Structure 1
Amino acid sequence: MNQSMLGIIDATAQKEEIQDLTSNRSLAAVPIGGRYRLIDFVLSNMVNSGIQSVAIFPRYQYRSLMDHLGSGKEWDLNRKRDGLFFFPSSEKELLNGIGSFHQFRSNIDFFLRSKQKYVLITNSHTVCNIDYKKILERHLENQCDITQVNQKGKMLDMFILEKDLLIKLFSNKESGYRNIMDVVKDRNHNLTVCDYEHSGYVAVVDSISNYYSHSLSLLNPNIWKELFLRNRPIYTKVKDEAPTKYSKDAYVKNSLIANGAIIEGHVENCIVFRGVKIEKGTVVKNSIVMQKSVIKENSVLDNVILDKDVRVEPKTILIGKIAEPLVLKKGTVQGALMNS
C-alpha cells in the first residue's frame, strides 16, 4: 500500500500580536533557540517522518524565508525528484486575504503531478518534535477521512488526509471553505474527522509574549531534551563561524550562546544568537539577543528582545516586564539619551 505523504506547509499566517518581529519577515522565518527559525521544526519533523516532497505556501515578507531554506540542502530536499517547492501568493491573494485553498487551487498542477497518496498539512509556527508516520498509521487503522492533531483538546493545525480528497475539497468553490480548518470545523459534511492526541512538548508561537516565554523555556534541560532528540534531529541552515569567545571577565549562567559570539559581560538566563557581541561591564538578564546585535559597555538589559543587527549604545538601561518584554526591532540603534 502506498503510504507516502506529501508535506504542505501553510505559511500564510500573519499575527498582529507578533508584528514587531514580522515586519521584515514571515512568521515562519522568526528566529528561535539561538540558531533556528520556526519553520525548521515543522520541516525537520516532515523529513524525519520520511516525507521527501514539501511545498511551502507563503504570503507575506517571504524573502528571508526563501533565503534561509535555499534549495533545501540542509533537509536533504535538494532532489531531482520531489524536493522543496515554493508557491508564493499572487497580488490578488495578498490584497484580498484569500485563504490557502485558493493558493492550492492556483497551483493544482503541482498536486496532480505529485505521486504521494496522502497529504500532511501543517502551519509554520508550531515548535515540537513529532513523528507523522505514527499519525498516518492511526489514520489508516481508524479509516478516517481527516485526522487532526491535538494536545489536551487544543488543535495544533496539523492534518492528514488523502490527496484526492484535498483536491476535491479545494476545487469545490461553492463549498465556501477557505482552508482545511474550515472543513474540520464544519459538522454538516459527511466526512469522518478523527483526533490524534500528541503528548510531547508543544509551543505555538503567535505573539510576542509566548515567543518570549517559549524561547526562555528552552533553558529548561527537560524541555530541551524532549525537543532535540538524537534520532530525530532539528535541522537548520549551516553557517561556518568561529566558536564563542569568552573574555576573562565574562560571567555566563543558565544561557544558550550560539557560535561566533563574543561575551565580555554578565549574561544570565538568556538566548544569545550567532555573532552577538556583549561588551565588558554590561549585564544582560532574561533576554533574547538575535544575530549580530551589539550591546556596548556598561549597559543593563532585562526582559528584552533584541532583533537582528540591533545596536545598544554604552550605558543604556532597557528594562521590560516578564509579561510584556521590551522589543527592539531589527537594525535599530538604542542609545542612553533615549532613556532620559
Structure 2
Amino acid sequence: MAKVVGYINLHSDISYKGLTERRPVASVSFLGRYGIIDFVLSNMSNSNVDTVGILIKEKPRSLFKHLGNGNSWNFNSKSGGVSLLYNEKYANSPMYNHDINNIVENIAFLEKSKADYVVIAPAHIITTMNYAEVVDAHAKSGAEITMVYQKINNADEAFVGSDFLRLKGKQVMEIKNNKGNRKERNISLETYIINKKTLLKIIQYAQKVSSFFNLRDTLAYLCDERKIMAYEYKGFARCIDSYGSYYKVSMEFLDMDISTQVFKSTWPIFTNTNDTPPTKYLKNAIVKKSFVANGAVIDGEVDGCILSRNVTIGKNAVVKNCIILNGSKVCAGAHLENVIIDKDARIEKKTELIGEEEPLYVREGDVV
C-alpha cells in the first residue's frame, strides 16, 4: 500500500468579514458544532492519511485551541497525527507568506516522512473526497502530479474567482481564473496529488523562478514543461470563499437532501466534543428546520437557523434564517432575520435586526 502524507493548505486570501477578523477561515464555526477545517481533516482520517501537516497562514490562536492534540479526528497517532506548521519567519510579510515558503520553513515534516505521495487540499472547499481513491488513480496513471477537478454547469454562479483547468484528454494544459462568464467549467478543487520527490523538486524550482510564487502559481507555470494529469471528482463539493457563500452554504445544509450527501454513517465527520448539557426547550419554544447544538436554551420561535453551543433565545423572541455562534444571547421579545451573530454577543437594546441583501453581522462579544 502506498504511503501518503497530507497537507491542509490554509494559505488563501479568503475572508468572511468580521468572522475572520481574529480567526482563520479554517476555525470559523460551521453548522453549530464544527469548524470548517473538520471536513477536510475528516477526509484525511477516513482516507487513512494519518500524517497531516496544517499549513497555517495567519491568526493561529483559535486554530490551536480548536485542534488541540488532534486526537478528535481519529488519526493513528503511532504512525503520524496532526502537525501545526506555522511560518513565523514570514508571518508578517504578505508576499512571502505563502504555502511554498511554509513548506520550506517546516521542511523536516516532509523530509522525515516515509511517504511516496503527498495529498494537498484546502479547508474552504467542502467535499467528501476519498483521497485513497485519488492516490490509487494517480499511481496507476504513472503521473508525477495530479490535479483534482469537478465538471460543473453553473460556473457563472458557483466557484467564481476559483481556477478552472483547460484539459486535453486527462492532461492539464492551462490553469485559468473562472470569471463567471461561462456555465460549463472544469473547476479546480485545489487538491493535488504529487510524488514526494517531485514536490521537493518543485519547491526548489519555484524559489528560483520567483520568490513570490505559491504552489498554484508554480503548477500553472509548469503546465508547458511537465505532464500534469487531472482526476475528475464527481461527489459533493461546495466552495466557501466569501461571507455570502458562508451564509448560503450553511443554509443549504438545512435541506436534508444536501446534508445527507455529507453526513453519512460510512464517512463520519469528526470534531472536538464538548461536555455540555442537552438543549433545553422551554414552554414557548417553537423550532422548525434548524440545527441546534448542545447547551442551547430556547424559549422563543426559531425557524431556519443554526444555533451553536450555549446559545440562549429569550421568551417569545422570533429568530429566522440566522446563524448564532457560541454563547450568544437573544433577549425576550426580539425579532431577528438574516443575521449572523458572532460568539458571546448579546442582543438586548436593539431588539429588531433584519439583514437585507446580505446577512447583518454582529461582532464577537458586542452588546447590541
Instruction: Normalising by structure 2, report the TM-score.
Output: 0.86
RMSD: 1.5
Shift of 1:214: 0.1
Q: Deviations over 1:273-328 (max 9, x none)?
A: 1110000121000110111110001111101111111110056110002x411111
Partner SS, residue 213 of structure 2: coil
**Offset at 1:60?**
1.1
Aligned to 2:150: 151
The superposition leaves residues 185-244 of structure 1 with CA deviations (integer Å, 9 ceiling, x where unpaired) of 225543221222222221211211000000010101011110111111000001011110
Aligned residues: 331
What is residue 110 of structure 2 aligned with on the other side? 111
**Any conservation in 2 of the 1:310–1:331 contact (CA below 8 Å)?**
yes
Q: Which residue is equivalent to 1:169? A: 202
| 1:188–1:224 Cα change, 3 Å | closer
Q: Does 1:76 align with 2:74?
A: yes
Matched, 1:9 2:44: no
Runs of 4+ in 1 over 6 A off after TM superposition: none
Distance 2:199 2:69 in 1: 26
Work out which of the residue numbers 84, 87, 90 in structure 2 matches 1:86.
84
Change (3 A) 1:201 1:63: same
% identical aligned pairs: 36
2:365 is the counterpart of 1:331: yes
Whole-angstrom CA distance in 2 between matches of 1:282 and 1:314: 13
Deviations 1:73-129 (A, max 9, x none): 111337244211111122434224322111111122221110111000111212121
Structure 2 unaligned segments of length 5 or more: list them: 152-185
Q: Tell me which residue corresponds to 1:337.
A: none
Whether the 8 Å CA contact 2:279–2:294 is kept in 1: the answer is: yes
Q: Quick check: 1:71–1:78 contact (8 Å CA) kept in 2?
A: no
Moved more, 103-112 or 90-99: 90-99
Greater shift after overlay, 84-93 or 291-300? 84-93
How far apart are the structure 2 equivalents of 1:94 and 1:150?
32
Q: 1:235 to 1:88 in 2, by over 3 A?
A: same
User: Amino acid of the residue matched to residue 202 of structure 2?
Assistant: L
In 2, Cα distance between equivalents of 1:93 and 1:75: 27
SS in 2 for 1:240: coil
Deviations 1:235-288 (A, max 9, x none): 000101111000121111111111110010000000111110000121000110
Q: Specify whether residues 53 and 133 from structure 1 end up closer, same or farther in structure 2 by C-alpha distance, changes over 3 A only.
A: same
Long gaps (5+) in structure 1: 335-340
Report Cα offsets for 1:159-190 as digits up to 9, x if no partner.
00111111111123213272321233225543
Secondary structure at 2:114 match in 1: coil
Query: Aligned partners of 1:47 and 1:191: how far apart in 2?
Result: 31
Segment of structure 1 superposing worse, 200-209 or 170-179: 170-179
The aligned counterpart of 1:231 is 266
How far apart are the structure 2 equivalents of 1:298 and 1:226? 37
The amino acid across from 1:60 in the alignment is E
Aligned pair 1:297/2:296, yes or no? Answer: no
8 Å CA contact 2:87, 2:105 repeated in 1: no
